[in-house]
Structure 1
């Protein structure tokens, strides 16, 4: 399906049985015009900025980062924040509708001309050129990959885009708590729009289907794979990342059952202490 067709889609389509939709490529039919137009109501840029503070900026600056590839830019929130913090930023996304919205948001929020690239993570090196000090993959975006093969391929592409001492910052919902029945899945830090409901409709080991209800009565859904925290940390190690620090809701010592986990994975080679 080409970009021209995709940018004209307004309504989601999940077929006769939405719970059977468990394919990576389906996200292009989920982030359609109607939902993209309302996405910033869900995020609430001001409240989200207040909630996360300088966490990402400080993590990057502490490692001497100058260039950043935002591989899941969405509507551009983090790309704009990074540009304003002085980072040389390239913004990529697999959804052409999201990229169009991000480009407009960059202009509307400080007059920033975002450098946007339409790219599928599994072939990231084909579409994005050069190396970066950091790659960020935020907003629970990685959970749109439904097969382990896709997840490993995407992480390998992220790794390859990094310089020898680069860092990947990747986040995820606390699906452990959701799968284990310890939380209803409502987020206080990432989806801050006070008039938008984002709740799980269905959860099993292979699917977390969320419902998003907006003040005008419109309703949208996203189908995602419920990644467990230690599983993703294991994949990061398998790809080659040497040190992985995991934060809960931006805290090194997380509170009980945080909304989100943020993994900071360093590529810098660490000598084997047992060698």
Structure 2
């Protein structure tokens, strides 16, 4: 079961230095943002701790931020307050989005942070994409980032321990990933992520969570985007790259 109730409290240790600032996080999507009006109505539907949502609001966009995790929604609210920005926040899973927003509401929808693999299998993923597509206006764009699961599966089950400390708010931590790679693509996979914080008194405090995920091939994602009425404009997938970005427009 994926909730991010534990990891949500320490998620900043999982964000790269280059994207920790909301301004810098939003700037990493400058190519896609350049296609939008400055006052665009956007949805960040896997908002995490809010760096992208707040960065978009700083740019003057009208921003709604949703996440299936209550902790993530709270942390996005807190970050918006810290920066004095207006972000509409609510807890909602992808399949619940049409219950909260009218069809054709948004100029752009962001689903970033490698979140789509948490959708429950091919049917759950297609349902998530259908919900997002419904909320886009015609010509609006979905911006999605993904792990390259072809590479993840090729490496197999393993333990990845970071080779450097990550410092956030004056606290150092080691980040550990434990991958459980199932025999078949369609099977449920697991990632256990642990943040081992080194307290000032020398004690180690560990927060960890076991996350469920259902991987997919890049060509499967491309086909599913077409099925929900989205035309791919950008796909940075390449063999050997850890992550990629897809931008698709509603036809």
Q: Answer whether TM exceeds 0.5 for this pair.
A: yes
d(CA) in 2 for partners of 1:91, 1:233: 25
Matched, 1:81 2:52: no
The equivalent residue for 2:44 is 70
Contact kept, 8 Å, 1:95 with 1:118, in 2: the verdict is yes
Matched, 1:258 2:241: yes
Structure with a larger share of its residues in strand: 2
The alignment's C-alpha RMSD in Å is 2.8
Contact kept, 8 Å, 1:136 with 1:168, in 2: the verdict is yes
The equivalent residue for 2:74 is 100
1:86 Cα offset (Å): 2.3
The equivalent residue for 2:200 is none
Cα 1:172–1:185 change in 2 (3 A) is farther
Gapped runs of 5+ residues in structure 1? 1-25, 249-253, 270-275
d(CA) in 2 for partners of 1:53, 1:166: 18
1:60 Cα offset (Å): 2.0
1:198 Cα offset (Å): 4.0
1:129 Cα offset (Å): 3.8
d(CA) in 2 for partners of 1:218, 1:227: 28
Contact kept, 8 Å, 1:177 with 1:183, in 2: the verdict is no
1:52 Cα offset (Å): 6.2
d(CA) in 1 for partners of 2:25, 2:240: 17
The equivalent residue for 1:17 is none
Matched, 1:174 2:148: yes
Cα 1:187–1:160 change in 2 (3 A) is farther
What SS does the aligned partner of 1:180 have?
A: helix
The equivalent residue for 1:126 is 99
TM-score (norm 2): 0.80
Aligned residues: 229
Gapped runs of 5+ residues in structure 2? 168-172, 198-204
The equivalent residue for 1:230 is 219
Contact kept, 8 Å, 1:196 with 1:212, in 2: the verdict is no
